[in-house]
Copies of this chain bind each other. A is one copy, B any other.
Amino acid sequence: MEKKAFVISIGDELLSGRRLNRDLQLISRFLAVRGIKVAGEMIVPDEEEAIKRALDHALSSADIVITTGGLGPTHDDKTRWVAAEYFNRELEYRDSLMEFVRKRLNAFEMEYIENIHRNYALVPQGFDHHYNEVGIAPAMSAKIEHNGMEKLVVLLPGPPREVEHLLSKLDYLFKDYSQGVCREFTIKTFGIPEVDITKLLKDKNFDAFNSLSILPSPYGVQLVLKKCGGDESEVQKWIDERVKFIEWILGKRYIYGYGDDTLEKVVGELLKQKCLRIATAESCTGGLVANLITDVPGSSDYFWGSVVAYSNEIKEQILGIPEPLIRHFGAVSEPVALMMAEGVRRKFGVEVGISTTGIAGPTGGTPQKPVGTVYMGISIKGRTRVILRHFSADRLGVKRLTAYTLLNELRKMLIFGEEP
């Protein structure tokens, strides 16, 4: 039978709703591909009684109990104390753990403070500790007898990066609870709304809507296929067939990638394949396009640099846009976008130049060019294109929509050639 896990997230700050609970997402995904279901999640404050009552509930609801948070060294961090008391164990001071913690403190250039940091080395008897190479606080785990049933209890620190790292390290703990295989596959699209995707798939009698989640967002709709079963190759085959079907319906015009792909990563790969180097000239995006491109490891192979030209003088002086052009057409115009892309390409001596000029708002709009009006330029070895869009969003939204739209148009131009 499918095994169940219950997640307890510990921390006052989570209940204020001020922070996203990324941990639940990470844990759900990790367990989902192992065929383990999350039966529930409880968020509790840093209070002894609340944590104990949550443990009661979790242990009687599921086979696996995972807590996150409250493993830091301060008086707010109660998880290790409460766990010790709840499971009737002493807290042991472990030298080997302290040694590791000292190294981590060093790595963070933090001074060791005895009466605070020694708490890191305290572990309830019978619990294994697991070194945390990303943060400081170790994870802990044990198999516990509860009402005659064996339960797996895993205590994780709170920060999502640490949860992710420690889960993958602790993979082996979950092996016994895994049922057959489950596979998930994500298809990423840009430039087509959710309703159009649903309609296209329905029109072609797509047969697996029950296994498909369609996740909308202004920055691209994601399609997630999920399938479980006993036989790995059958599950994989089932998924592969549906992916092919969806690819046939939507094509590379809308599908830019899969899984963890991002537009900036896919564009980077295309540039590398074609041995093209790129530079950006940005006005309304203020450096966001360059920032996205350089988020990709290894981008220095094809990214040469960027000029963010907020002032007209800089557009003229560094990018060589003739002043009369700006005076006549305005800085937010098709000719200026074109000359910016071409100008930065020549200035940096690269094959590809891309540009943005527009009105991100909230001020600066006019009746002719309202907030959200954006021109984007692309020049590939002098083959040029300008795209005009009217985005309806706030300042940060306009910046992001511009950056992703430009990257997607460049992607299509690199794949399909001149006019996609």
Contacts and interface: CB of A to CB of B under 8 A. Distances in A.
Contacts of A61: 50, 53
A188 to B, nearest CB: 13
Interface string A296-316: 011110011111111101100
B308 A308 contact: yes
A313 to B, nearest CB: 7
A58 to B, nearest CB: 10
State the number of copies, please: 2
A51 to B, nearest CB: 10
A213 B12 contact: yes
Interface stretch (A16-24, A228-236, A320-328): A16-24
A195 B113 contact: yes
Given A17-B29, A57-B57, A392 B314 contact: no
Interface residues on A, range: 35 or more
B308 A305 contact: yes
A193 interface: yes
Given A50-B61, A304-B314, A297 B361 contact: yes
B17 A24 contact: yes
B314 A18 contact: no
Contact of A289 (B199, B287, B390): B287
Contact of A42 (B41, B195, B215, B306): B41
A25 B32 contact: no
Contacts of A21: 17, 21
Interface in A269-303: 280, 282, 285-291, 293-295, 297-300, 303
A154 interface: no
A40 interface: yes
Given A310-B294, A313-B349, A32 B50 contact: no
A40 B42 contact: yes
10 contacts: A15-B41, A16-B38, A19-B215, A40-B50, A280-B308, A285-B294, A287-B291, A303-B310, A305-B318, A306-B306
Given A17-B21, A42-B42, A290-B308, 15 more contacts: A15-B28, A40-B43, A40-B54, A161-B394, A286-B291, A286-B306, A287-B289, A287-B290, A287-B308, A291-B291, A300-B310, A300-B364, A305-B308, A308-B308, A318-B347
A-B pairs, top 7 by smallest CB distance, nearest first, are: A286-B294, A17-B25, A287-B290, A287-B287, A306-B308, A287-B291, A17-B28
